[in-house]
Amino acid sequence: MFEVYITKAAKYLPNEAVTNDEMESYLGLINDTVSKARRIILRNNKIVSRYYAIDKEGKSTHNNAELTHNAIVKLFDNDFTPQDMEVLSCGTSTPDLFLPSHAAMVHGLLKNKSVELNSSSGVCCAGMNSLKYGFLSIRSGNSKNAVCTGSEKVSSWFLSQKYNPEVSNLKNLEELPIIAFKKDFLRWMLSDGSGAFLLENKPRGPISLKIEWMEAFSYAYELETCMYAGGDKLESGEIKPWSDYSPEEWLNESVFSIKQDVKLLDEFILAKGAKSMSEAMAKNGVTADQIDYFLPHVSSHFFVEGLKKNLEENNVGIADEKWFMNLARVGNVGSASIYLAVEELMNSGKLKVGDRILLSVPESGRFSFAYAYLTVC
């Protein structure tokens, strides 16, 4: 078994930062009406700026593969060139295409050489699953290096024009032309960007982060779907997939919009998160006092105090000064968020040899959780 190190981290955030007051000038107004939910959601999530890969006319400036590629190329230097890459592992919630895979589309932009590909799908844990593939490849001796990524291009999904057919249909049915909260909610939560790590079997550079272990948990066996796209939720809790709808229904019911069952989210995300984190730490013999930096991916600052309380109740409470978050500045970028946090911390000049870092990533899709424990060397 070989040791695995994050030897370099990079990010790509498109265009200029978008403030809260500018959001609707990019995403547009649904039914020419200012969203009543926007201010409440932004007040709770405490995000003050984010990035969109679209302009104010709603035209894309980058697709997801391009965002990912732009982060990866920042990893290259004289010591690690595109020709040195052995594995490319890419995670995202919002690929540009159903197929080919996201990793294949990114590899097509790199134009380097034949490499092993992996594409991880899902929601926020897609980025951690991408990282684990690279980790296990190097750990097993299958490869000497791997480039792992997390990225999202979600802004185009939230453009007001995507909801216009549903609004028109509601008017035709003489119903209130108001988009359901489960669809409007995420428009003010998610944004675009990408992050990339270079993993190698030896440390190098000023600092490297040794991956000591990674753990993942799923509660899909007992909990119904919470966050979804490409279908809709029935009263039974089951998901009806897009392929069982007619093309007319795809538009009239905004079947491809990203939706979230907020009540289900509130009930389970913190409890299951604290439980799984406690189990991951116990399995690997790590206690809270053995963590110098805690990097939790949370979708909203609304959950921070609740998470602290739940961690305390599971005997894994972590002191406030150890928490490191950049949600307010870069937004919730889904599977890329943990990459953006690690990149910022790794390049901050704050880390010293021997520091220990715990990464925590929840996914509300059907309640999955992923963790990684790193040491600075």
List, in order, residues 6 or more apart from 119 with CB less than 8 Å away.
Answer: 89, 90, 91, 92, 95, 101, 102, 103, 104
Q: What angle do CA 319, 124, 94 make, to 5 degrees?
A: 150
| Structure-token pair, residue 243 | 């392929």
Residue 91, amino acid = G
- Alpha carbons 279 and 48: distance in angstroms, whole number: 34
Which helix (H) or strand (E) segment holds residue 309: the answer is helix 304-313
Which helix (H) or strand (E) segment holds residue 361: the answer is strand 356-363
Q: Within 10 Å of residue 119's Cβ, how many Cβ atoms?
A: 22
Q: What is 4-157+188-206's CATH number?
A: 3.40.47.10
Q: How far does CA 112 lie from the centroid of its chain?
A: 27
- What's the pLDDT at 16? 98
Per run of 10 residues, the mean pLDDT along the chain (length 377 residues) is: 98 98 96 89 96 97 98 98 98 98 98 98 97 98 98 97 86 75 91 98 96 98 97 95 96 93 96 98 98 97 97 98 98 98 97 98 98 98
Burial pattern 17-50, b for ≥16 Cβ within 10 A else e, equals: ebebeebbebbbebbeeebeebeebbeebebebb
| Structure-token pair, residue 13 | 């955030």
List, in order, residues 6 or more apart from 105 with CB less than 8 Å away.
Answer: 64, 65, 95, 96, 97
Say if CB 9 and CB 196 are below 8 A apart.
yes
DSSP readout, 102-133?
A: HHHHHHHHH-----EEEEE-SSTHHHHHHHHH
Nearest alpha-carbon partner for 211 in 376, 18, 52 = 376
- What's the pLDDT at 126? 98
Q: Residue ranges of the domains in the chain?
A: 4-157+188-206, 212-219+261-376
| Structure-token pair, residue 365 | 């899709």
Query: Is 212-219+261-376 CATH 3.30.70.20?
Result: no
- Alpha carbons 304 and 324: distance in angstroms, whole number: 12
Dihedral angle sign, alpha carbons of residues 217, 265, 253, 184: negative
Which runs of E-coded beta strand occur in 165-233?
A: 193-200, 209-218, 227-228, 231-233
Burial pattern 352-376, b for ≥16 Cβ within 10 A else e, equals: eeebbbbbbbbbbbbbbbbbbbbbb
- What's the pLDDT at 174? 73
